[in-house]
Amino acid sequence: MIDTSGVALHKRGYRPAAGVAPLRETLAAAMVKLSRPRDEVLLWDPFCGSGTIAIEAAMMMTGTAPGLGRNFAAEEFYDIPEKIWKDAREEAESFRRSTDFEVYASDIDPHMVDLARANIKRADMGAHIKCFERDATQIVKADRRATIVCNPPYGERLSDMREVETLYRAMGRCFSRLAPWQIYILTSVPDFERLYGRRADKVRTLYNGMIKCGYFQYFKNKNI
């Protein structure tokens, strides 16, 4: 067996420092894709942590290949001419596209905002992502179309669970005021919909590492 990748393929090279519970880049990309991002629709992650969802969204919409910012073990193999790598990088560059696509990445924790900003800079996605401090339950609707894609805390310990329940209830109240914005939420809490106060239009099972999660999709979000 020969390892041609080196560092695991899901790593893009923009996240040397991650937050407390970072998403795998590939899972964040899948969440973004399932939310069907469009150039003219703002994408907002209000629990951005290290900024993974926001960065993956911006990379996807700008046609930035996931491996463009990293190296591969096979680049050291003596029998693969350097030109092949150069051509592959040039080909990947040719897929880049210009777009007005805009992402907001916010978090209640100023340290996470700093961390996300550093990762956004490293990924060279600063032109598309605005990163700021904000309580996700205090979001006010902007006068434009938007989609929320997020991964709020799950409450691993029992003591955290009470806080998480309060948070999910507040999210339900706040996010319903954002209608008709679409909302996509990943959590491992099984009775999320009861706490949030609304049944999702669709729930997909996704795994965050070993943790079984529901991806709760509200695409017919309306005021309640």
Ligand X SMILES: C[S@@+](CC[C@H](N)C(=O)[O-])C[C@H]1O[C@@H](n2cnc3c(N)ncnc32)[C@H](O)[C@@H]1O
CB of 93: closest distance to ligand X in angstroms? 26
155 binds ligand X per the rule CB under 6 A: no
DSSP E strands: which ranges in 21-127? 42-45, 103-107
136 binds ligand X per the rule CB under 6 A: yes
CB of 82: closest distance to ligand X in angstroms? 34
Query: Cα(132)–Cα(109) distance, rounded to whole angstroms?
Result: 10
x/- binding map, residues 14-33, to ligand X, per CB under 6 A?
A: ----xx-xxx----------
For 112, the token pair is 């996470």
Cβ distance to ligand X smaller for residue 52 or 64: 52
CB of 196: closest distance to ligand X in angstroms? 14
- Specify the amino acid at residue 36: R
Nearest to 104 by CA among 195, 173, 37: 37
Query: Cα(122)–Cα(142) distance, rounded to whole angstroms?
Result: 28
CB of 92: closest distance to ligand X in angstroms? 24
Query: Cα(221)–Cα(182) distance, rounded to whole angstroms?
Result: 6
Among 137, 187, 217, 221, binds ligand X (CB under 6 A): 137
Stretch that binds ligand X, among 36-44, 77-85, 133-141, 209-217 (CB under 6 A): 133-141
Beta strand pairing call for 146-150 and 182-187: parallel
Q: What is the dihedral of CA 5, 215, 105, 117, to 10 degrees?
A: -30
Among 43, 55, 105, 112, binds ligand X (CB under 6 A): 112
x/- binding map, residues 39-78, to ligand X, per CB under 6 A?
A: -------xx-xx-xx-------------------------
Beta strand pairing call for 103-107 and 42-45: parallel
Binding site for ligand X (CB under 6 A): 18-19, 21-23, 46-47, 49-50, 52-53, 107-109, 112, 135-137, 151-153, 167
